[in-house]
Amino acid sequence: MTEAVENLLLVLITAPSKEVAEQLARQLLQERLAACVNLVDAVQSLYWWQGELQSDAETLMLVKTRKEGFDERFIPFVKAHHPYQVPEILALPILAGNPDYLQWAIDETSSTIA
């Protein structure tokens, strides 16, 4: 396993619309908290919220970021800029991939913890 693989995460975030997701994606990229964000529009989410079953159209964000600073910078940033009271922020480890792409993702994200 390469060093880049060990240091990268794929983060899933849902947003209430494509516009909100795109705005948040641009903010994450500008802050160097993400190397790339893919937006998957028209995802149907079913979930429990405040005792009621909900069904909403959302946009799914697939964010490539580094592990370093995830708890200290990434999560607080998303929570501060996301309209949901409890935004979905789920991180999955990247187990393998194109080594050149993985290194690029590391190079494009900030390791500085503010």
Which tens digit of pLDDT belongs to each residue from 52-92?
999 999 999 999 999 999 999 999 999 999 999 999 999 99
3-class SS of residue 12:
strand
pLDDT at 76: 98
Q: The tokens 């995460």 sit on which residue? A: 9
pLDDT at 6: 87
Q: Which CATH number fits domain 1-60: 3.60.130.10, 3.30.70.120, 3.50.30.40, 3.90.1150.10?
A: 3.30.70.120
What secondary structure does DSSP assign to 40-76, as a single string?
A: EEEEEEEEEETTEEEEEEEEEEEEEEESTTIIIIIHH
